[in-house]
Amino acid sequence: MKHLTTTAAAGAAATFILAAPAYASGFALRETDAISLGNAYVGGVSRASDAATVVLNPAGMSLLESSELFGNVFYVGPSARFSGQNYLAPGVRTSGNQGGRNVNSAATASSYGVWKVNKRLALGYSFGTPFGLRMDYPQNWVGRYQSLVTTITDYELSLAASYRVTNKLSIGLGPRFDFLSGRFTQAANLGALNQYGTTTADLSGNGFGFGYNAGLMYKFDDKTQIGITYRSRISIPVAIKTKFAPPWSLAANPFVQGLLASESGHGKMQVTLPDSVAFGFTRRVTPRLTVMLQGEWTHWSLLQQLNAISDHGGLNTTIPVNWHNTWFGGVAVNYALRKNVLLRSGFSYDQSPVNSRNRLTRAPDSSRFTLSAGVEYSPIKMVSLDLSYAHLFTPRGSINNDAGNNAGQLIGQYSGHGNVVGFGMRTHF
């Protein structure tokens, strides 16, 4: 019986790194700013046109014509639907339904600022939520022994400096401060005791880590420029706490109380957010038309396993991850319809680090295609407004996840899609 509760606690612990939003591959959230959204997340590495370059490529700050503040809000409406069964043993299915939409909608925001010290030097900051998820399965879904509620939030503050070395070359560098928190629940399979109701395993925790962002940008001429940026990995020591909530009919049982108390308590886990390299190309083809290309490599293979260490006498657990490195790529165009109206569009592909064998119920991730459009309007010279929309097409992804004899083996498919709306306002001074 002790092994049953240990399995539940270990499964919840795994989700600190495996929880994934439906709007970016892995668990990265690409909603940095409304301009990038309108271009299908393409062009930020090389465009150097706004304050979001602080996080997209800090080298671009010194290329801005003036100081700037840039605020953004987003509505993200993802969907992930499961169809299939969970098997506790060959031919023995878990009772229950197949869930529903499962991924909750969410709102996010970001803020950027750049101060032009002089023509060569600029300083900036960025604040946003690069990772996040709100996932909620019903209490009686077939995979409840693997996951129920998943809530993960990541806050990041970046500071950066940019220096224009020559008229053609600019560089940028700055630190990143990251705070990761989450809460995860699942049903604990207590065998015959399940007839008295569902016991829920609840894990929560948080951690803080540091990293950096570096980039360079090179202007061949007034029409063409390229950029490259590197975001370092961040290692975060996460303090975790596990507790169990039995139904009222079992709460007073001394045996159950002792069993659950032995598996409740604190622990720790080391979580590594992966590093990435992005490169881009921007070309003003005509006075009205600009074309952008971008590629990005993410070091997801750093996540091969997680080690949950108990400090209350519970079982130390190793959770296999086995993710692989991924690529992102796309093309985007901007068209100046009028002097104060700019139209945007883009198309991109985002590769997933998972497959059917390592896809989890908390991370039913799949590769996806993004098609987007946006408009920029400048009512006065010092203010620019951006409104963007993107639709994410996600092919079906199969799942064959064996979470142990007590949690079962989930076999089936996930289908999903996502809609994102973003609004941004920039003030120049």
pLDDT band for position 8 (cuts 50, 70, 90): low
Kindly list the domain boundaries of the chain, sorted by start residue.
2-428
Q: pLDDT tens digits for 214-233?
A: 999 999 999 999 999 999 99
- Token pair of 183, please? 């809460």
Q: pLDDT tens digits for 332-358?
A: 999 999 999 999 999 999 998 887 777
- Token pair of 205, please? 């925790």
pTM exceeds 0.75: yes
Q: Which residue has the higher pLDDT, 266 or 159?
A: 159
Q: Which residue has the higher pLDDT, 32 or 95?
A: 32
Q: Judge whether residue 363 has pLDDT over 60.
A: yes
Q: What pLDDT shows up at residue 2?
A: 47
Q: What pLDDT shows up at residue 19?
A: 44
Q: Which residues of 275-305 are buried (b: 16+ CB within 10 A; e: fewer)?
A: bbebbbbbebeeeeebebbbbbbbbbebbee
Q: What pLDDT shows up at residue 23?
A: 52
Q: Are 33 and 70 in contact (CB under 8 A)?
A: yes
Q: What pLDDT shows up at residue 11?
A: 54
SS3 of 370-427: EEEEEEEEEEECCEEEEEEEEEEEEEEEEEEEECCCCCCEEEEEEEEEEEEEEEEEEE
Q: What pLDDT shows up at residue 25?
A: 67
Q: What is the mean pLDDT of the chain?
A: 87
Q: Which residue has the higher pLDDT, 308 or 422?
A: 422
Q: Can you tell me the mean pLDDT for 246-259?
A: 75
The DSSP call for residue 41 is T
Strands (E), 90-223: 92-93, 106-116, 121-136, 149-164, 169-188, 199-219
Q: Judge whether residue 421 has pLDDT over 90.
A: yes
Cα three-residue angle 33-183-262, rounded to 5 degrees: 160
98: Cβ contacts below 8 Å, ≥ 6 apart: 82, 83, 84, 141, 142, 412
Q: Judge whether residue 211 has pLDDT over 70.
A: yes
Distance of CA 266 to the CA centre of its chain: 26
Q: Can you tell me the mean pLDDT for 52-59?
A: 98
Q: What pLDDT shows up at residue 316?
A: 67
Q: What is the rounded CA–CA span in Å between residue 59 and residue 123?
A: 10
Q: What pLDDT shows up at residue 405?
A: 65
Q: Judge whether residue 20 has pLDDT over 70.
A: no
pLDDT band for position 80 (cuts 50, 70, 90): confident
261: Cβ contacts below 8 Å, ≥ 6 apart: none
pLDDT band for position 194 (cuts 50, 70, 90): confident
Q: What pLDDT shows up at residue 313?
A: 67
Q: Judge whether residue 93 has pLDDT over 50.
A: yes
CATH architecture observed for domain 2-428: Beta Barrel (2.40)
Q: Mean pLDDT lowest for which of 41-50, 240-249, 328-337?
A: 240-249
